[in-house]
Each structure stands twice: as C-alpha cells, then as structure tokens.
C-alpha cells in the first residue's frame, strides 16, 4: 500500500515537474582550446522537459558543423525529478583565431530561450615541430617554375608512427593543370630524428596548361587516430583484442592539412619556335620502320612511325607526312601507350600506315621531322627519322592468276551495295494523255446498276404471266379475247371492201358474242341476249351499255334472218359501233 | 470563240461542282460535245505538244518549266495518274517535297498498283523531316482487304457493278431454271456484292470526307486554335502528312498519325483531293 502511494506521488511529481521548474538551456563544449586538426564536441542541453523542438544553432562561419543526434535523460534525486534532452554537434575548425559561439536559441510555448555563449581559441596545428608529432602530411612539387606543358611531379606523403583508421584523402583540385597518375601509392619506412615513421607516398604528374602564377591548394586528410584504452587488465589484455574491431580502443577524428604551393609557370620562348613545333615539351625521339623492304607493285607494306619520350605524350600527333605519288597510302588509327617509369610520365605514340607501291623501282619515303621543346636545355630541338628505301619489283602474273582462280571458285555472294538513291524517271508514253475520269455518277454506271434489277423485276413479271397462262383458261381467254376480236373484225372489213357481204351479220354477231364469251369465260356463240344480260348484270355493268349491246345484237340477229339489207357505209358504221362497244367491254371486264 | 469556250467550261465545271460529290479536273465532256470533231482533235494535239514539251524540259533538268506544263495539262482536259506522277517527279527534283508527295498521293488515286510511283513516294517520305508514328493496327486489315487498297475507286466500282450484274443474272436464271446448286452460287455472289458494296461505300466516304493534307511550307507552326494568338503546339516541316478534320476559311484543323491535333493556316496545306481549286495554289 505504501509502495503504491510512493509510485503515485512520484508520478504526480513527474507530471508537475515540467510545470514547476523553469526551462534551462545550456551550451557546453569538451574543450575551449583546439588546433586545426582537432574536433570540438558541442552539447546543447535542455533541462526541464523532453518534449521540445530542435534548437536553432547560431551561425558559425569558422567551423564545419555536423549533427550527432540527441539523447534524453531523467533523474530522480532526493525525490526531485529532472528530465532533459541533449543535442550533440561536432565542430571542425576551418581557420585559426578566437571565436565566440552562440547564443543558440530554442523556442518553447511561444517563448525564445537563449543559451550561454562560449569562446573558442583555435591555434594552428603547426605550433609543434613536425618531427615531434606522431602524424603529419607533406606535399611538394619537383619544380616550382616549369614551362607551360612541362611535367612537374607532385608528391604527397603521409608520415605516421601511430595507428590510424578510415583515412580519406581529398586531393586538391589542381586548377590550371592537367593531372596524370604515376601509378599506385608506395609505402616505406623512414627515420626522422631517431623516430621511425611509416610513410605513404602518392605521386602525380602535373602539366601546367597556362602560363602565370598557379596555386595548388592544400591537400586534406581525414582520419581517425586509434588510442588504446587501458581500462581493465585481465582476460582481454591481449594484443589480439587491442583493436578497434573489438571496441576496446577509442578513436579520435583528425583532419590534417598541408601547405599550399605556388607554382610560377613560364611561357615557352618564342625564339626558335618553328611551324614544325609539335607542342610537345619534354624529351622525345622518332623512329620509322617498314615491315617489308622488298616487295612487288600492288603489294602492301606497313610503315610504323613511333614517337617515344617523356613529357606530354598525350599531345603528340602524327608528324606531317609528305605526299607521295608513287604510293597509295591508307591511314590507320594512331595508338597511344602510356609508360610511367618511376618518377616521370611518358609514353609512345604508334602511327601505322599501309603503303601500296604503284610503280616498280627504288622508292623512297623521306625523313619525317618535328620539333619539341626541351625544358632541361631550355631550347627547341629537332627530331628526325631516317629516310626509308624500298625495292619494288614488277607485279608477278602468277599470283594474279591465282587470285582470279580464287575469285572464280568463290561461292559467297556479296550484298548489293546501295550507291545512291534517286526517284525513278517520268513516264513519257503518249498514252499518258488519255484522260481518266474519276466521276462515279456517270450515267452508264447508274444504268449498269439499275439494269440488272430492272431485268430481274421484268423476269418475275414474265414468269408470273406465264404461270397464269398455263393455269387459268379463263384468264387466257380474257387476255386473248380482244386480239381474236380485232383479227375477225379486220377480216370482216376486207369482206365489206370486197362486196362479199353474205356472211356479214352472222360473222359480226358471232365475233361480238365470242368476245363476250371469252371475257366471261363461257361459250359465247350459243348465248342468247337474255343470258348475256343476266351475266352482265352480275358484273354490275351500266344499264345503257347493256341496252346498247342488246340493240346491236338485235340488229345483227334480225339482219341474219330478215331481209333487211344495209348499205356499205351503214355496214361500216355498224362495225364501228361494234368495235367501240367491244373496246369498252374489254376495258370494263378484266379478270 | 475562246471566251465562249471558257465560259462554257466554267459553267459546266460549276454544274459538276454542285451536282457531284466527286469533282474531277477536266471533267467537261459537255464541252467536247458542243464543239466540232476538228476542235477536239486540235485540243488533243495541243495536249500532246504540251506533254512532249514538259517531258523535254524534265530531261533537260528544267524542272520548274516541266512542272508548269504538267500543271497546265491537269488544268485542261488531261487528268490521270501518269501526269500527276510526272508532276510529282518534277516537284521532287525542285526540292519541293510537300508538293511532290501531294502529287504522288493524287497519282495513287488513279494508279494504286504502280510500283514506280510507290518507290518514289516512299523515297520522298524518307526525306521528310518529321517522324510521325502512325497507328498501324489497321495494316493487317489493309493487306487482307486487298481489293480496297489495290483498286482505284473507279475500278472498285466497276468490279462491284460486274458482281452486281452477275448476281442479278444468276437470280434471273434461277427464276426460270431453278436448280439446287444455284442457291449456293447465288449466296456466294451475294456475299461478294455485299463486301464489295461496303468497301466501295467506305472508300467513297473516305474519299469525300477523310481528306488528307500535306505541308507545303518549309516549316509551319501548329496552334491550339484558329488564330495567331493561340498557343503554338508544335512544328511541322515540308512534306508532313496528316488528316484534315475541319476546315475554316483560313485555318484547318488537323490530326497527325499519332493522334496530335491542332490548327494550321490553310494556305500552307495541300489537300489530297481531286479538286479544281487545288491547283490554283
């Protein structure tokens, strides 16, 4: 129960602690005096709360600042609870002098809290003599007043007699120089003032690109110095465990600077400079060589030109090659080989040309020349190859024949080479003058489109008619009635003309009756006027027409049996009336 | 006499313009019927001399003179693929890629199977500056429907009419002498007529409404709207081809093969349509 109460009280205190105590904000450093090689740890600690945003650092132009994170803490001392947070930073000095840091600021609940100020004194690292130090770097150049493009050797050395780890070297940018590496770093031991140092040496060849004063910036080496901690003696007190790997030693970060170097670059002297100058500075020579000195016309020999020496070999190019009309010359790509012998940069440029002699006899390749600048002697020097002489024999036929044979038996086919591209020529035939209409709404097309359809429709009608023709006698009679009638009437007409009137009434009456019979699909000739009347009344034919028909039929009947004779014109008139009536009936009675 | 002739020509072409969807240059048979036979012969002789002259200029590498004469021929009665082909060649030699491509395209409407023409058109297209990726998913269909691409619109019409006539002829035969096997023949023929008819309709539709355009100028700017104040979208160079979607008085809305759209000034664009107004540019 009591315990529980204690916990409750302490919890209450914990909560109230943040409110009851005012915040404090303190800046601390691990040392106030340091050298350029040291690092300073800056701690900004906040007392009174843990829940707070990060502090605002003051501007520190003399230092490089790196954040190392934060840590929180809580303490209960005599019932008083204090909590806080520490922010850690590493300051790396960039220059010497006395600097004031701060104040750092912190904003909490709308208020700004400032820390205290700290004064730091940074002294140069070189206050101690080199030999007395355990770790230092040096840089130097072989020649501080070179000519433009003359190579100078830049040497970086790291001296140490203590253990270091994670070393990283920042080479200067070598502005104004072309840099060539001179191989891998070298390690050796040396003794200075009786102390043995391990030396790491890196060499580089520098070629000044322009004249004037050039400065080589200091080299910067960052490393961690391993210091052994003798905390405990016992089980692990063994050299094997004396290693940073096992964490029994601590490390200290160090940054080493070398001194800057000033180089005065001299221009190449104008005196003696010729158009043949190849822009090479150093010491060079040239050599020529042919693969075959005795050959035949059309044969190939390889001419090798070698420029070799120490200096800016990368600037080397083929010396001017004279025009030779007795040879066909094919150039090959020049090949550059870099050779670094010890402390100097140099190499070899190999230029190969294939020569094909075009005529027989003794042919010469003249000497090739160029000049380079020799800085050791301070003057331009001429470089000349020995002229070459070749014995060229006439081409032998035997080999040619062989060549032809070889070609003859070859079966491989060559790809067609496109030599050029052009459009195909114009069409010149006069047939091109024929106009070709693209008009689709031309009447023949429409005709051709509709004609088959019309043909089809017509065929259907023809077919249907034919079918009825075959099946329906009444229809056939009705359709052919008028034709028959007209034929008969024509016959009667000729009879009238020929004064042959004996059969006029009978024929006319029969013809009319036949027509009606055909139309009504009954046997017409035997019809009586009464029968005809009743049939026609069924078809709802006008009364006056029926009467007229009856009248006509009566006239024709009586004409047959009575002795009533009409004149020729009267007969024709009668015939006309018959025809007229027949036409009307033909139209009226359709089947 | 010449004035009357011209007048009749204009009237007749005007009539054709309004009455037909397919206006073709030199489409003036009505003129020839109005004049005597000797007149007709004289014109043919004129055309022949013009043609021979043009060919001669071409051979002498006076391409602009040759082109002028071919244009004249097209302006008068003679309009066919060969003349357009020759005109295209002349423009090509003059370095006017756009006009050359347009002429070849027009020639293609007449001569869809001419290999010379195809080779030249392909070469001319190779020389154009703009690389336009076109959506080629229809290319297989084009190969398959060979009658669509390998026949000119008129040839397609004639083939269609023949199939059409054959179909009705078979139908008539079937009415009078109906046999079982004829049904199959009739069905096949019907399918043929339907396919050809659809192709013809599609071709006619494309011919009338889906007009292609070609750039004539060295470089034109395609804008987002029909005015100079609109944003410049991209540039096209001589010979670039596209589809014309919409035509305003001075501006044309275009679509490239890869789907890019925009407006260009119509005076720098040649329309791939057999049209009297085209040559006036």
How confident is the model over A453-481, as a mean pLDDT?
84
Does residue B98 share a domain with residue B64?
yes
Q: Got the DSSP string for A17-57?
A: HHHHSPPEEEEEES-SEEETT--EEEEEEEES-S--PPPBP
Contact call for B123 and A421, based on CB within 8 A: yes
Tokens of A80: 């008083």
How confident is the model over A480-506, as a mean pLDDT?
81
A219-251 residue pLDDT tens: 888 888 877 655 555 555 555 555 545 555 677
- The secondary structure element, H or E, covering residue A154 is strand A152-160
Q: Please give the pLDDT value at position B34.
A: 45
Say yes or no to pLDDT of A458 above 90: yes
Residue of B nearest to A457 (CA): B172
Q: What is the ipTM of this complex?
A: 0.71
Q: Residue A436's closest CA among B89, B212, B46, B25?
A: B25
**CATH (domain of B269):** 2.30.30.40
Q: Please give the pLDDT value at position B38.
A: 64
End-of-domain residue from the set B127, B155, B175: B127
Residue recorded with tokens 């945003």: A53
Residue of B nearest to A450 (CA): B165
Neighbours of A400 (CB within 10 A): 11
Residue B4, SS3? helix
Judge contact between B110 and A439, C-beta under 8 A: no
Residue B160 maps to a domain:
yes
Residue of A nearest to B273 (CA): A438
A328-373 residue pLDDT tens: 888 888 888 888 776 788 888 888 888 888 888 888 888 888 888 8
How confident is the model over A116-120, as a mean pLDDT?
85
Q: Please give the pLDDT value at position A246.
A: 52
Residue B14 maps to a domain:
no
Q: Please give the pLDDT value at position A2.
A: 55
Q: Please give the pLDDT value at position A424.
A: 82
Does residue B183 share a domain with residue B201?
yes
Q: Please give the pLDDT value at position B14.
A: 39
Does residue B149 share a domain with residue B103?
no
B22 touches chain A (CB under 8 A): yes
Residue B188 maps to a domain:
yes
**Residue-averaged pLDDT of chain B:** 79
Q: What is the CA radius of gyration of chain B?
A: 22
Does residue B217 share a domain with residue B203?
no
Tell me the pTM: 0.42
Beta-bridge partners for A302: A354
Least confident stretch, A409-413, B83-87, B223-227: A409-413
Say yes or no to pLDDT of A469 above 80: no
Facing A440 at nearest CB: one of B19, B81, B154: B154
Residue B117 maps to a domain:
yes
Between B44 and B228, name the one with better pLDDT: B228
Say yes or no to pLDDT of B29 above 50: no
Q: How many domains does chain B have?
A: 3
B153 touches chain A (CB under 8 A): yes
A418 touches chain B (CB under 8 A): no
Facing B80 at nearest CB: one of A424, A434, A451: A434
**Residue-averaged pLDDT of chain A:** 79
Does residue B103 share a domain with residue B56?
yes
Does residue B120 share a domain with residue B160?
no
Helix and strand totals (H; E) in chain B: 11, 7
Does residue B218 share a domain with residue B185?
no
Say yes or no to pLDDT of A13 above 60: no
End-of-domain residue from the set B160, B188, B208: B208
- How far is CA A167 from each of CA A232, A253, A256, B176, rounded to the nearest angstrom? 29, 10, 10, 109
Does residue B149 share a domain with residue B102?
no
> What whole-number distance in Å separates Cα of residue B245 and Cα of residue B209?
9
Does residue B225 share a domain with residue B161?
no
Judge contact between A317 and A278, C-beta under 8 A: yes
- Give φ, ψ of B222 to 5 degrees: -95, 125
What percentage of chain B exceeds 70 in pLDDT? 79
Tokens of B200: 């013809």
Q: Please give the pLDDT value at position A235.
A: 52
> What whole-number distance in Å separates Cα of residue B228 and Cα of residue B225?
8
Residue B133 maps to a domain:
no
Cis peptide before A344 (omega within 30 of 0): no
Residue B265, SS3? strand
DSSP at A367 = P
Judge contact between A266 and A241, C-beta under 8 A: no
- Give φ, ψ of A578 to 5 degrees: -60, -45
Say yes or no to pLDDT of A397 above 60: no
Contact call for A427 and B86, based on CB within 8 A: yes
Does residue B111 share a domain with residue B43?
yes
Tell me how close the Cα of B31 comes to any Cα of chain A, in angstroms: 14
Q: Which domain holds residue B182?
A: 139-208
Say yes or no to pLDDT of B176 above 60: yes
Residue B52 maps to a domain:
yes
Tell me how close the Cα of A476 comes to any Cα of chain B, in angstroms: 21
> What whole-number distance in Å separates Cα of residue A226 and Cα of residue A249?
7
Predicted confidence band of residue B163 (pLDDT cuts 50, 70, 90): very high
> What whole-number distance in Å separates Cα of residue A31 and Cα of residue A41?
8
Q: Residue A66's closest CA among A33, A32, A41, A100?
A: A41
B21 touches chain A (CB under 8 A): yes
Residue B21 maps to a domain:
no
Q: Residue A379's closest CA among A311, A312, A281, A309?
A: A281
Neighbours of A397 (CB within 10 A): 8
Does residue B107 share a domain with residue B42?
yes
Tokens of B187: 């069905």
Contact call for B48 and A433, based on CB within 8 A: yes
Say yes or no to pLDDT of A384 above 90: no
Say yes or no to pLDDT of A11 above 60: no
Those residues whose C-beta lies under 8 Å from the C-beta of residue B92, and which sit 6 or more positions away, are A423, B100, B120, B124
> What whole-number distance in Å separates Cα of residue B105 and Cα of residue B120?
11
End-of-domain residue from the set B107, B127, B147: B127
> What whole-number distance in Å separates Cα of residue A433 and Cα of residue A254?
96
Residue B84 maps to a domain:
yes
Contact call for B27 and A439, based on CB within 8 A: yes
Q: At what angle do helices A568-588 and A504-520 cross, to 10 degrees?
A: 0
| A residues 456-515 closer than 8 Å to B (CB) | 456, 459-460, 463
Does residue B118 share a domain with residue B48?
yes
| Domains of chain A, start order | 2-126 (2.60.40.10), 128-264 (2.60.40), 277-393 (2.60.40), 471-588 (1.20.120)
**CATH (domain of B90):** 1.25.40.10
């Amino acid at each position: 129960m009591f315990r529980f109460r204690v916990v409750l009280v302490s919890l209450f205190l914990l909560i109230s602690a943040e409110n009851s105590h005012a915040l404090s904000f303190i800046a601390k450093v691990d040392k106030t005096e340091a050298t350029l090689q040291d690092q300073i740890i800056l701690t900004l600690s906040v007392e009174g709360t843990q829940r707070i945003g990060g502090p605002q650092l003051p501007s520190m132009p003399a230092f490089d600042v790196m954040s190392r994170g934060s840590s929180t803490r809580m303490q209960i001392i005599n019932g008083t609870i204090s909590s806080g947070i520490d922010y850690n930073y590493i300051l790396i000095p960039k220059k010497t002098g006395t600097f004031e840091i701060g104040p750092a600021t912190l904003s909490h609940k709308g208020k700004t809290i400032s820390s205290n100020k700290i004064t730091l004194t940074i002294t140069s690292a070189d206050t101690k003599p080199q030999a007395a130090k355990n770790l230092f770097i040096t840089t130097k150049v072989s020649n501080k007043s070179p000519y433009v493009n003359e190579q100078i050797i830049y040497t970086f050395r790291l001296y140490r007699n203590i253990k270091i780890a994670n070393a990283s070297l920042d080479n200067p940018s070598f502005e104004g120089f072309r840099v060539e590496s001179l191989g891998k770093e070298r390690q050796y031991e040396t003794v200075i003032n009786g102390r043995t140092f391990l030396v790491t040496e890196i060499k580089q060849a520098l070629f000044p690109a322009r004249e004037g004063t050039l400065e080589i910036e200091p080299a910067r080496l960052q490393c961690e110095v391993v210091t052994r901690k003798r905390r405990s003696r016992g089980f692990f007190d063994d050299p094997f465990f004396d290693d940073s790997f096992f964490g029994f030693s601590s490390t200290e970060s160090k940054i080493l600077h070398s001194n800057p170097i000033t180089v005065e670059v001299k221009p190449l002297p104008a005196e003696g400079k010729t158009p043949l100058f190849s822009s090479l500075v150093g010491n060079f020579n040239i050599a020529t060589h042919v693969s075959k000195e005795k050959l035949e016309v059309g044969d190939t020999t390889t001419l090798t030109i070698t420029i070799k020496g120490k200096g800016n070999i990368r600037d080397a190019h083929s010396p001017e090659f004279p025009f030779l009309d007795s040879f066909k010359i094919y150039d090959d790509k020049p090949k550059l080989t870099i050779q670094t012998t010890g402390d100097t940069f140099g190499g070899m440029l190999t230029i190969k040309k294939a020569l094909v002699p075009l005529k027989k006899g003794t042919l010469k390749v003249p000497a090739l020349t160029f000049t380079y600048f020799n800085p050791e002697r301070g003057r331009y020097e001429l470089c000349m190859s020995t002229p070459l002489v070749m014995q060229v024999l006439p081409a032998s036929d035997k080999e040619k024949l062989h060549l032809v044979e070889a070609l003859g038996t070859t079966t491989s086919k060559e790809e067609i080479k496109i030599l050029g591209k052009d459009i195909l020529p114009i069409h010149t035939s006069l047939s091109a003058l024929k106009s070709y209409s693209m008009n689709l709404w031309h009447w023949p097309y429409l005709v051709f489109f509709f004609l088959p359809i019309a043909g089809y429709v017509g065929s259907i009608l023809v077919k249907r008619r034919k079918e009825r023709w075959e099946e329906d006698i009444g229809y056939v009679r009705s359709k052919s009635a008028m034709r028959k009638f007209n034929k008969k009437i024509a016959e009667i007409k000729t009879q009238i003309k020929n004064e042959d009137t004996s059969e006029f009434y009978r024929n006319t009456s029969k013809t009319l009756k036949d027509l009606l019979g055909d139309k009504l699909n009954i046997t017409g000739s035997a019809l009586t006027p009464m029968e005809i009347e009743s049939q026609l009344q069924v078809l709802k034919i006008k009364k006056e027409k029926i009467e007229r028909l009856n009248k006509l039929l009566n006239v024709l009947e009586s004409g047959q049996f009575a002795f009533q004779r009409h004149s020729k014109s009267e007969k024709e008139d009668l015939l006309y009336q018959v025809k007229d009536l027949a036409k009307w009936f033909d139209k009226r009675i359709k089947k | 006499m010449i004035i009357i002739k011209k007048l009749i020509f204009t009237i007749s072409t005007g009539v054709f313009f309004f009455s037909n969807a397919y206006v073709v240059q030199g489409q003036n048979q009505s003129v020839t019927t109005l004049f005597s036979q000797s007149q007709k012969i004289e014109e043919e002789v004129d055309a022949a001399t013009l043609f021979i002259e043009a060919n001669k200029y071409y051979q002498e590498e006076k391409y602009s003179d040759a082109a002028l004469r071919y244009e004249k021929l097209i302006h008068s009665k003679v309009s066919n693929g060969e003349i357009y082909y020759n005109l295209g060649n002349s423009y090509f030699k003059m370095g006017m890629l756009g006009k050359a491509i347009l002429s070849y395209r027009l020639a293609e409407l007449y001569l869809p199977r001419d290999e010379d023409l195809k080779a030249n058109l392909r070469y001319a297209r190779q020389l154009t500056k703009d690389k336009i990726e076109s959506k080629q998913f229809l290319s297989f269909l084009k190969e398959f429907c060979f009658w669509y691409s390998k026949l000119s619109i008129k040839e397609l019409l004639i083939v269609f009419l023949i199939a059409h006539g054959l179909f009705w002829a078979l139908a008539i035969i079937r009415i009078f002498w109906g046999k079982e096997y004829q049904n199959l023949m009739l069905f096949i023929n019907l399918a043929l007529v339907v396919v050809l008819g659809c192709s013809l309709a599609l071709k006619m539709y494309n011919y009338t409404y889906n007009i292609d355009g070609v750039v004539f100028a060295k470089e034109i700017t395609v804008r987002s709207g029909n005015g100079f104040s609109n944003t410049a979208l991209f540039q096209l160079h001589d010979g670039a081809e596209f589809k014309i979607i919409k035509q305003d008085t001075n501006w044309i809305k275009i679509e490239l093969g890869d789907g890019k759209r925009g407006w260009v000034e119509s005076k720098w664009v040649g329309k791939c349509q057999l049209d009297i107004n085209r040559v006036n540019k």
